[in-house]
Every structure is written in structure tokens, then in C-alpha cells.
Homo-oligomer: A and B are copies of this chain.
């Protein structure tokens, strides 16, 4: 995301001068503010954001995925985490102070503000960008020191951003039952049943992927994420969709949403411009009965959250749509499987091509990533990538969130490990797969580490566990073999994946972090991706997507039922990298069975598509061990 430009700092003197002027300007504020907070993120808690929302990057030059800027009369400071210390220091000019989060000596934003602000200061923030829970914490801390956090309705970055891009309004795509398995009407009805069960009158939908899922619509407003800017408000008898009205001129979309031929009144959608969500929510709240409750995600914007009077507000850590979306139906599962077969075809093509081309010495991280995209784009219903491809050689592969840039671009060779973590959006599903390969001869140590990672991956996907188990209880299975050798990796083992939606989605995952973790359920799809990284040397990661399915063990304690995983990624694991002596018989059997599946399913598709070279590569790479 953001600019790929080389790491020269952005000159911000003039911008900061203008911003500070705006902080005193009566046009925006009744009283001047002494500090202004610029968070990352948009009004929808999005992980990836559109260019028009890259305000923190605009004001500072720093374009990492995480960071908060605070500008006062005298200072400009940027908080970010260890992944970005170097990048931030290179992208920001001397007007900025880098606040290295996680270091003992680094003050929190609150403590820093309190230490430098004059008495009775006012600290401003755009209430549409800051999440309700963050507002609450910051507000409390400032108040305890005699300052006030104030909502500045007009965004002050926008006020000084002359050529700010427009908010995207890409064409919408309507997905039929063939892709979704469930009409939006049925989804609304199921949602209302949950609302009725909890005595909830209204639900404010703010997450873009939840809106896309609910209405069976997709857009391309945000790179890699097939979503569109919108809000929705679902009542027990009415539905309101707030979206750029131009997008609704399309007859297919009008037909899909039944805008011109509404059926039952409770399933007719009232549409309104995106910007009107606030006014409309105010009107709804004004008409609420004394005991009526409104659901809103606790990560929604402060502005929207506070529009709901406290007595009516019922904040929830994750919404019923988030959970419903995570449990894929039969059609979605079929689609996700098909997407993974096509994706496997593209990767087999890539690896066969790499095997041939690398010895010539002309393949780089960037050209390999481009080739992967080219092969994917040849597949049916391809829409785009699902995230920026991590294509990394040797030491670059040890950088977990690496993305090749011209100045870091390495050439693939016979001497170094190559790690590619990539995925695509197809109309029928979203993919995310990582393979680590060596095109020459790996060292014994590289093979040993690879094998521990593989053992961990198998341990997770072969695990049987009771219904109701949360993903974090499986995380250690992925690490046990590495731990036994004194090794580990510093990231979680898995994340939820959407169906032709965001490649990261809640509310489930497999991680040592235990927050926001709901029990795994049959139909959920998560990644299983242990790794091992040696700074400055190499990186290994193996990632498959796995579907939670019922298991049928011998017994059934207290009739709870059991679950296990079915692997839906079908790309061979490079046997050259495996030290088979380290595998148990069960693990060998797993590898052989997996490769048999790759041959049967991916092989058949390669054959059908007439991709002879890739098929040969697959057959060679899936011999029994």
C-alpha cells in the first residue's frame, strides 16, 4: 500500500505550518486546540485504507500500516511499532520525532501530551476516524490532567490537503446465489432473528466487509479488498443503505437490491447518500422507546457511537454479521475450494517456470511476483490480488511483512531460499498461500528448520478438538517441534479468511494472543501458517488455508462433538526441503496423503487446462516419501 518511492523524507515544514494555522482557525473551531491527533485508518475500522484516507501519511510522509501522529504548536511526533522504526525514520523529515512503541523509555501518547501541554489544553481529533474505545481512554487520561479531548468535526488534514484524492466510488458487482449461497434477504432475516433474541431494535453496520457480505455486493474502493464505502442500518422492520447514490444507477444493482420492485416492506431497502448516516441515525435515536437498544461494534467510530444515547447503546466486541460471515455456507465452501484449485494451478505454473528460469539469473523478487500475478490472472473469475505479494529471497524472507521494492529487490538463485506468500481474489473465493522453496541444494540446517515448521503445520491441521474450542488453544501445537529445538516464530499461527472478501477477518484465528477469539465452528476457514525466521539469513513459512469440519473420533464425551480441519490449499510442499528422518510415520502419511490430493485435484485441473509443464512439475514434486 501507499507509495513505493525510495526512502527520502517528505518535506513537511509548510504543511505543518498550515495545519497549525488550521488548529487556531475559527472557521473550523470555536476555540483553538493545542494538539491534533491524526490516527491511521478510516471511518470503518478497515485494515487496508483508500488513498483519500491516508492522512497520517500525507502529513508526515510515513506510510507504514500502523502509526499515530500528534501535532502540537511546537512538536510533531509519530508513534509506531518495531516493524517500522527504520522506515519511519527514513520517510519523515527533522520536524518529526519518532516515538518507538514497545521501548521502555517511550512515553504513551497520553503521557507525552500531559508532559508537554500548557494547563487546560484542548486536544482535537476527528471523531469519525478515532474508535469509540480509543476516544474513551484518551479522553479519560487527558481529563485526569486537566485537559480536554475535543471532537473536531472538519478534518484538519483534509483542510490543508490540496490535491486530496476523491473518495473512490467504483462500480458495484452483485453476487448471485451461485456465489453466495444465501440471498441478502435471508441474511437480513437471520440477522433480525439474532437481534430479536437479544431484544435489539437496530444494528448499525460500519465494517465494510460486513456490508458487502450482507448485501451480496462487492466493490473495489480499497486495493486488495473487494469492498465499497457504505454504512447500513438494519431495524426489525426496515433497512437503510448509505452509499454514493451514483452507484445505484446500474440496473443490475437496482434489480439485485430490488430498489424498484420492493417485495415485503420489511425487506425493502431505503437508500441514502453515504454522508447522511449521521443525520439518519440521529432521527432513529430520537424516536426510540425508553427500553430500546441499538447494537454497534465497539470499534466503530466515536462519532457514530456517540450519536446513540448511552441508555440505548449496546456496544459489542464483534457483531453477529462478523460471526455469520466467518461460518461459510456450502456454496461459499465450494467456491473457496474452487478458488484454491485455480490458485494452485497458477502456483504450479509459477514454480515450473521458476525452476526453468532461475538458473538463467534474470528472475527477481519483483518479476517473480509479477509472474505469479500473471498466472493467476489467467484463471477464471480472477479479480485481483488479495494482498501485496511477499516475494522474498534469502535475508529478505526473514522480514515477516516484506514487500519487494526496487531498492531491496534481490535476484532468485540456486543458493538461497525463496519464500512467496501470495493470494488472489476470485469471484468465487479468496486465497492466501505461502510456499518456501530452494531451487539449488538447501543446507541441513535449512532443511531441519523447514521440517520443524512442517511438523507444526501438520500438528495444527491434523488436530481433533471439542466443539467450543477457541483457536488460541491450538497455537502451541504449531510450535511444539520448534520449541523442542529451541526455536520459535514471533507471529500468530492463523487468521480467518473471507470468501471473495478481506484476506484477514475476525472473529477467529489461531494465536498465542487470546483477545477477540471466538470458538471455532464447522464452516470457518482459517490459515495454518507457522514459520521460522533467522534475521539476516533466511525465512521459512508454510501456509495452507484449512476449513473447520466435524470430526468423528471413537468417543463423544458429553455429546459435545468434535472438530478438525480439512486443508483446501493444494500446492505441493517441496520435498527437497524436508528432512524425512525428523518425521513420524503419521507425519509421513500426512505428507503422502496431501500430495495424493494435490495430484488428484490440482493435477486434474492442470490437465483440463492443458498445462503440461506445470503438470509435470506437480507430478515430480508430489512423489511419495
Which of A's residues lie within 8 Å of B, judged by CB? 463-466, 472-477, 479-480, 483-488, 512, 514, 551, 553-558, 560, 562, 584
Q: Which residues in B have their C-beta under 8 angstroms from that of A477?
A: 476, 480
Q: Which residues in B have their C-beta under 8 angstroms from that of A466?
A: 483, 488
Residue contact A554 to B486, C-beta cutoff 8 Å? yes
Q: Which residues in B have their C-beta under 8 angstroms from that of A480?
A: 463, 477
Partner of A554 from the list B472, B474, B485 (CB cut-off 8 Å) is: B485
Q: Which residues in B have their C-beta under 8 angstroms from that of A486?
A: 464, 551, 553-557, 562
Residue contact A484 to B512, C-beta cutoff 8 Å? no
Determine how many copies of this chain the complex contains. 2
Please, could you name 7 A-B residue pairs with CB atoms under 8 Å apart, sorted by A? A464-B484, A464-B486, A465-B479, A476-B476, A486-B556, A486-B562, A488-B560
In whole angstroms, how far apart are the Cα atoms of A207 and B480 in the complex? 36
In whole angstroms, how far apart are the Cα atoms of A241 and B158 in the complex? 63
* Residue of B with least CB distance to A449: B555
Nearest CB of B to A472, in Å: 8
Nearest CB of B to A469, in Å: 8
Q: Which residues in B have their C-beta under 8 angstroms from that of A556?
A: 486
* Residue of B with least CB distance to A512: B473
In whole angstroms, how far apart are the Cα atoms of A551 and B487 in the complex? 12
Partner of A487 from the list B484, B514, B555 (CB cut-off 8 Å) is: B555
Partner of A553 from the list B472, B479, B485, B557 (CB cut-off 8 Å) is: B485
Q: Which residues in B have their C-beta under 8 angstroms from that of A483?
A: 463-466, 553, 562
Nearest CB of B to A505, in Å: 23
16 additional contacts, CB 8 Å, given A465-B479, A485-B554, A486-B562? A463-B480, A464-B484, A465-B476, A466-B483, A466-B488, A473-B512, A476-B477, A483-B562, A484-B553, A485-B555, A486-B554, A486-B556, A487-B557, A488-B560, A514-B514, A584-B584
In whole angstroms, how far apart are the Cα atoms of A110 and B550 in the complex? 39
Q: Which residues in B have their C-beta under 8 angstroms from that of A465?
A: 476, 479, 483
Q: Which residues in B have their C-beta under 8 angstroms from that of A562?
A: 483, 486
Nearest CB of B to A141, in Å: 15
In whole angstroms, how far apart are the Cα atoms of A584 and B584 in the complex? 10
In whole angstroms, how far apart are the Cα atoms of A439 and B567 in the complex? 46
Nearest CB of B to A28, in Å: 37
Nearest CB of B to A484, in Å: 5
Nearest CB of B to A452, in Å: 10
Q: Which residues in B have their C-beta under 8 angstroms from that of A479?
A: 465
In whole angstroms, how far apart are the Cα atoms of A475 and B475 in the complex? 11
Q: Which residues in B have their C-beta under 8 angstroms from that of A557?
A: 486-488
* Residue of B with least CB distance to A560: B488
* Residue of B with least CB distance to A517: B514
Nearest CB of B to A546, in Å: 16
In whole angstroms, how far apart are the Cα atoms of A551 and B486 in the complex? 9
Nearest CB of B to A538, in Å: 14
Nearest CB of B to A104, in Å: 12
In whole angstroms, how far apart are the Cα atoms of A472 and B560 in the complex? 22
Residue of A475, A483, A554, A562 with highest tally of chain B CB at under 10 A: A483
In whole angstroms, how far apart are the Cα atoms of A479 and B476 in the complex? 12
* Residue of B with least CB distance to A555: B486
In whole angstroms, how far apart are the Cα atoms of A483 and B551 in the complex? 10
Q: Which 5 A-B pairs have the closest CB atoms?
A: A486-B553, A486-B555, A487-B557, A473-B476, A464-B484
Partner of A474 from the list B476, B488, B551, B553 (CB cut-off 8 Å) is: B476
In whole angstroms, how far apart are the Cα atoms of A584 and B586 in the complex? 11
In whole angstroms, how far apart are the Cα atoms of A485 and B584 in the complex? 19
In whole angstroms, how far apart are the Cα atoms of A549 and B321 in the complex? 46
Q: Which residues in B have their C-beta under 8 angstroms from that of A472?
A: 514
In whole angstroms, how far apart are the Cα atoms of A485 and B564 in the complex? 12
* Residue of B with least CB distance to A474: B476
